[in-house]
Amino acid sequence: MTASRKRLRLGMVGGGKGSFIGGVHRIASRIDDRFELVAGVLSSDPMRAAESAADLGIVPARAYVDFKVMAKAEAKRADGIEVVAIVTPNHMHAAPIIAFLQAGIHVICDKPLCATMAEAQMISEAVKASDAHFVLTHTYTGYPLIRQARKMIADGELGQMRVIQVEYAQDWLTQTIEQDGQKQADWRTDPAKSGGGGAIGDIGTHAVDLLCFVTGLKPEALLADLHRFGDGRRLDDNAHILLHMQGGAKAMLWASQIAVGNENGLRLRVYGDRGGLEWSQENPNKMCLTIDSEAKRILTRGGVGSGGAMTDWTRIPAGHPEGYLESFANIYTDTADLIERKGGGALLAGIRSGLEGMQFIEACVNSAGSGGTWVPFQQLEG
């Protein structure tokens, strides 16, 4: 951090002891030394909230138990937070987002946007009425090679888009661990907390966002087949989805949390009339490029864009792998640049991406509920 740059004062709602994603957000916020956590409502349990705040060095006066109190109090302080991270379960996103936006505080929110489309519309109105920025953390768009793929496709290197295949396969819900009280599984499989989507909301939204981010295309219609293999499970744990994309491209999306042997298997394959790209999140520093009638090439993070834009998204020399945390850090650093008016906004997901994610979940549920029919997408303005 240079002498002229101050850290942005960060608050957090959720993310206390036992939270995986809260820790990820905190690490990502500090990798490039752009944020400092100074306040939070870290748990709905007052004792856990106080203990979590103490562990993180937050002074007792700024360890809150109510996000509405926090928003009002921090907005009045001369040294109040400038941005807040919302890292609660889906059903607890909307109210704090709206409260902090109304207080003029920038918001970074974990995906998906919220639990219902009605909540999404309320958030959208709050974003429009506020001068503060809203950012949704679609983490995987922060990988350098994913951003390189986006640029290559936009520059026409693959030609006209024809076929896109994206999959996100995990196995952690193979057994019904929610029935044994596993916290992360419990809320993700509960419609009252997760909303209408299980796997499609938790990881399917990541997959469809990645598809759209890289290709620049939006869905026009989809057909979804949703499954619940876990005995007694109330939300989908596996989904097969066909999508008609803008410009005539066809896409297939598979999202599963019961695919034994898969840990975090996010994979993208894009094929145009001139070439194709293949990328896997579990090996993110390499990407396969094939131009028609040419030999297949393996691109590495250090082997493309040398001295150019790629250096803006990496921190260590080629051959030293960067991964999930660094990708997440790119989202935070882009957000800092956006807040400080140094650019950064072009590659960030905002309220439109959030609304599109909720539209995707709703369309999947409606399609599957009607026996597997094609459901059109209403293209959002802006």
Q: What would the DSSP string read from start to end of 323-372?
A: -HHHHHHHHHHHHHHHHTTSS--TTSB-HHHHHHHHHHHHHHHHHHHTTS
Are 83 and 108 contacting, i.e. CB atoms less than 8 angstroms apart? Answer: yes
**pLDDT score, position 282:** 97
**pLDDT score, position 124:** 98
Q: Is residue 331's pLDDT more than 90?
A: yes
Query: What is the Cα–Cα distance from 336 to 95, expressed in whole angstroms?
Result: 23
Class of domain 8-132: alpha beta
pLDDT bucket at 381, cuts 50 / 70 / 90: low
For the beta carbon of residue 50, count every other beta carbon within 10 angstroms. Answer: 18
Dihedral sign computed on CA atoms, order 359, 237, 235, 89? negative
Query: What is the Cα–Cα distance from 362 to 122, expressed in whole angstroms?
Result: 16
Q: What is the pLDDT of residues 141-164, one digit of tens each?
A: 999 999 999 999 999 999 999 999
Q: Is residue 348's pLDDT more than 70?
A: yes
pLDDT bucket at 170, cuts 50 / 70 / 90: very high
Q: Percent of the chain at pLDDT above 70?
A: 96
What is the mean predicted confidence (pLDDT) over 3-10?
80
Domain map (residue ranges) of the chain: 8-132, 144-314+351-369
Amino acid at residue number 89 = P
- Domain boundaries 144-314+351-369, corresponding CATH code: 3.30.360.10
Residue count (the chain) = 382
Rg over CA atoms, the chain: 21
Q: What is the pLDDT of residues 187-239, one digit of tens each?
A: 999 999 999 999 999 999 999 999 999 999 999 999 999 999 999 999 999 99
DSSP states along 111-148: SSS-S-HHHHHHHHHHHHH-SS-EEEE-GGGGSHHHHH
**pLDDT score, position 5:** 63
**pLDDT score, position 1:** 42
Which two tokens mark 307? 């001295």
Task: Match 């026409």 to its residue by tokens.
Answer: 156
Crossing angle of the two packed helices 94-102 and 67-76, in degrees rounded to 10: 20
pLDDT bucket at 309, cuts 50 / 70 / 90: low
What is the mean predicted confidence (pLDDT) over 281-296?
97
Q: What integer best gives the mean pLDDT of the chain?
A: 95
pLDDT bucket at 140, cuts 50 / 70 / 90: very high
If we measure between CA atoms, which residue out of 27, 28, 30, 25 comes closest to residue 8?
A: 30
Residues 6 or more apart in contact with residue 308 via CB below 8 angstroms = none
Query: What is the Cα–Cα distance from 194 to 91, expressed in whole angstroms?
Result: 6
Q: What is the pLDDT of residues 255-278, one digit of tens each?
A: 999 999 999 999 999 999 999 999
Q: Is residue 370's pLDDT more than 90?
A: yes
If we measure between CA atoms, which residue out of 85, 75, 66 comes closest to residue 19?
A: 85
Which two tokens mark 180? 């044994």
Query: What is the Cα–Cα distance from 293 to 277, expressed in whole angstroms?
Result: 14
**pLDDT score, position 378:** 85
Q: What is the pLDDT of residues 84-119, one digit of tens each?
A: 999 999 999 999 999 999 999 999 999 999 999 999
**pLDDT score, position 303:** 76
**pLDDT score, position 3:** 43
Query: What is the Cα–Cα distance from 101 to 363, expressed in whole angstroms?
Result: 28
Can you give the pTM of this predicted structure? Answer: 0.95
**DSSP assigned state of 381:** P
If we measure between CA atoms, which residue out of 1, 241, 205 comes closest to residue 109?
A: 205
Backbone angles phi, psi at 122, to 5 degrees: -65, -40
What is the mean predicted confidence (pLDDT) over 35-51?
95
**pLDDT score, position 44:** 86
Q: Percent of the chain at pLDDT above 90?
A: 90
What is the mean predicted confidence (pLDDT) over 323-350?
95
Q: Is residue 18's pLDDT more than 50?
A: yes
